[in-house]
Amino acid sequence: MAHVDEQLLLTRAHLAFEATAIGEALLDCDFEEARFRCHLLRAYAGEHEFEAVAEGAVDVLAHLPPGAPPRAGIGRALLRLTDVIDDAG
């Protein structure tokens, strides 16, 4: 029977949850919430040493200037972030 790292599974699930929340906020045009979730995801990923995920969150955040709509490429940035989360661990 293979060993399951429960903590790793829970961490990855939390990362995926936050990325999903970013996407939902973007779909709802709640850009402030999307920025907030990016900050949460960056911090959580950093705490758990998922540097590529933290960098992905920063990249998404770069497409969300304060007080303005998202910049072109936000969708690609979010897809890259989810790919990095999928590869995490």
Specify the pLDDT at position 56. Answer: 97
Band (2; pLDDT cuts 50, 70, 90) = low
Mean pLDDT of all residues in 35-58 = 97
pTM greater than the 0.85 cutoff: yes
Specify the pLDDT at position 59. Answer: 97
Specify the pLDDT at position 3. Answer: 73
Mean pLDDT of all residues in 4-32 = 94
Could you give the maximum distance between any two Cα atoms of the chain, in Å?
A: 52
Mean pLDDT of all residues in 49-60 = 97
Higher pLDDT, 72 or 5: 72
Specify the pLDDT at position 1. Answer: 56
